Every structure is written in C-alpha cells, then in structure tokens.
C-alpha cells in the first residue's frame, strides 16, 4: 500500500532543491523559448518570404517537398500553406523534445543528485518503501515537465494565432493532432524519460552520466522528425494515437521493471 503523504513529502523536498538550482532553472527556460517563441515567430514573420523561411529553418524545404497535399487545407495560398505546414506539422514532433529535456534535467538529479549532496544515505534509511521512493522521484520530475510543456503549448497557441491571424485569415491552431500530443503524449513521454533516468541515476556517480539516458528517448522523437522530412510518414492524428497507445504499454512495463530492480542496499554499497 502506497502512503501518499510520504510520496508527496519526498516530491516537495525535491522541488525545493530544484528551485534552489539556478543553473537547472535557466536551462529549463532555453528550450521552450526557442521552440515556442523564436522559431514560430520567425516562421510567421517571414511567412510572405518563402525563400527566407526555407533558408532560416533547417530541413524545412525537404519536409515541404514530401508533405502530402491532402494533409493541407484547401483554399490556402502558397504562403499560407507553408506557414500551416510548419506550425501544425513540422513543429509537432519537435515539441515533444520539451518534456524529454525537462524531465532529463530534473530526474538526473534524483538519486545521483542525492549522492553528490551527501543526502542519499539518510533518504534510503527513511520509512519510504522502494515503490514509494521510485514513485516520488518519478513524479517529482514528471509533474514539472508536464506543467512546463502545457504552459509552453498555451504560449505557442496564443502566439501563432496572434501573429498569424492576418496572414491565415483567422484562428487556425490547435488541431486534433496537437490535442492528442499535448494531453496524452507529453505526460507519457515525460514519464518514460523520467523512469529510465531514475533507474540509471541509482547506478550513476554523476548527473552527467545519468543525463546520457535521455538519448534513448530523443532518438524516437528524431525518428519522427526524419520520417516527416523524408516523407516516410506524417505525424497526424492516427500516428499520434498509435504512439500514445504504445507509450502507455511501455510506460507500465518500464515502471514495473524499475521498481522491481530497485535495491537500496546496492545503492548504499556503492556510496
């Protein structure tokens, strides 16, 4: 039986330590700023200049060449279609990098962070069960990652509709694909990334070593980006739904594995 009070107490402790880490906090701002503000602003401000737009955004021309015509709304001009393609399709898989990176930055300081601060031994001797300890560490990272990504999505929505209203002839965002991505994929991706990093964190001696696990999560996201750029697949509602179902099954399996293999005695012997 999980004691929610003990889990919440552990989460609050981790959040207080995270709030004091100004270097991590600054890092958490950079990626959302680039993906949510800088790139979409450049796309919308250069919307009437297709040559400048394709030059500014790397890989955009190849993506546009392989984008199926039926995926775009009818009646749009060439400039409108380009902006729509970038804002709705091109940015969708890139947006999933936010919960992955945020989770990696916060979760990598879980057990290995406790080691570096010299607090791991006291934590492992607390009445927390192994399941409560892992669950508290996971949700202490998942919740900030999800909340920051959802906030970024709201900023992105307001920004693209505000800057693009005149060019696009009104509101055009979000779409059902984005709804599935933000509501389902973001928490699932953040949970998976955190579970893997927490598992590695218990065996790592530095936070940099624990953060290396993020590559395992980033690679599938990069595969989605490359798949769109090469025309192999389109990150649409169907793909988002399939990925969500697959991630749910993977998350459950990974969490059970992490809890089952977690041994505080092994961590203590490595101190």
Give pLDDT tens digits for 74-94: 888 878 888 888 888 888 888
Q: Delimit the domains of the chain by residue range.
A: 4-269
Q: Which of the pair, 62 or 136, is modelled with greater confidence?
A: 136
Predicted pLDDT of residue 226: 67
Cβ atoms of 49 and 43 closer than 8 Å:
no
Q: Is the pLDDT of residue 209 over 60?
A: no
pLDDT at 21: 76
> How many angstroms separate the CA atoms of 131 and 264, rounded?
11
Most confident among 60-69, 123-132, 195-204, 251-260 (mean pLDDT):
251-260
> Which pLDDT value is given to residue 9?
85
Higher pLDDT, 191 or 115: 191
CA-based diameter of the chain, in Å? 67
Condensed to tens digits (0 to 9), the pLDDT of residues 212-261 reads: 666 666 677 777 666 666 655 677 888 888 888 998 999 999 888 888 87
235's enclosing H/E stretch is: none
Q: What is the mean pLDDT of residues 183-209?
A: 77
Average pLDDT value for residue range 206-214: 59
Average pLDDT, the chain: 79
Give the CA count within 13 Å in the CB-facing half-sphere of 212: 9
Rg value, the chain, Cα: 21
Model confidence at 271: pLDDT above 60: no
d(C-alpha 113, C-alpha 104), whole Å: 12
Residue-wise pLDDT for 140-170, tens only, equals 889 999 999 999 999 999 999 999 888 888 8
**Per-residue pLDDT, 208:** 59
Q: Long-range contacts of range 113-120, CB-CB < 8 Å, 24 or more positions apart?
A: 113/17, 113/201, 113/207, 115/205, 115/271, 116/206, 116/207, 117/17, 120/267, 120/271
pLDDT digits (tens, 9 = 90+) for 12-66: 888 888 888 787 788 788 888 888 998 888 888 876 666 666 666 666 666 777 7
pLDDT at 265: 64
pLDDT of residue 109: 67
- pLDDT above 80 (res 137): yes
- Residue 270 above 60 pLDDT? no
3-class DSSP string for the chain: CCCHHHHHHHHHHHHHHHHHCHHHHHHHHHHHHHHHHHHHHHHHHCCCCHHHHHHHCCCHHHHHHHCCHHHCCCCCCHHHHHHHHHHHHHHHHHHCHHHHHHHHHHHCCCHHHHHHHCCHHHHHCCCCCHHHHHHHHHHHHHHHHHHHHHHHHHHHHHHHHHHHHHHHCCCCCCCHHHHHHHHHHHHHHHHHHHHHHHHHHCCCCCHHHHHCCHHHHHHHHHHHHHHHHCCCCCCCHHHHHHHHHHHHHHHHHHHHHHHHHCCHHHHHHCC
């Amino acid at each position: 039986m999980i004691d929610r009070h003990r889990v919440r107490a552990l989460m609050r402790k981790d959040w207080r330590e995270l709030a004091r880490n100004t270097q991590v906090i600054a890092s958490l701002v950079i990626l959302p700023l680039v993906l949510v503000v800088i790139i979409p602003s450049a796309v919308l401000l250069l919307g009437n200049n297709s040559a400048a737009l394709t030059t500014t955004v790397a890989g955009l021309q190849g993506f546009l060449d392989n984008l199926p015509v039926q995926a775009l709304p009818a009646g749009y001009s060439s400039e409108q279609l380009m902006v729509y393609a970038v804002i709705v399709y091109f940015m969708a898989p890139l947006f999933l990098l936010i919960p992955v990176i945020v989770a990696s930055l916060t979760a990598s300081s879980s057990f290995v962070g406790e080691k570096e601060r010299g607090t791991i031994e006291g934590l492992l001797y607390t009445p927390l069960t192994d399941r409560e300890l892992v669950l508290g560490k996971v949700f202490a990272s998942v919740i900030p990652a999800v909340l920051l990504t959802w906030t970024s999505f709201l900023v992105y929505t307001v920004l693209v509709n505000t800057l693009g209203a005149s060019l696009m002839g009104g509101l055009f965002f979000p779409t059902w694909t984005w709804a599935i991505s933000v509501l389902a994929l973001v928490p699932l991706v953040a949970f998976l990334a955190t579970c893997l990093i927490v598992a590695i964190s218990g065996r790592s001696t530095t936070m940099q070593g624990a953060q290396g696990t993020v590559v395992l999560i980033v690679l599938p996201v990069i595969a989605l980006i490359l798949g769109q750029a090469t025309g192999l697949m389109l990150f649409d509602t169907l793909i988002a739904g399939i990925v969500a179902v697959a991630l749910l099954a993977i998350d459950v399996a990974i969490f059970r594995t992490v809890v089952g293999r977690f041994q505080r005695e092994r961590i203590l012997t490595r101190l």
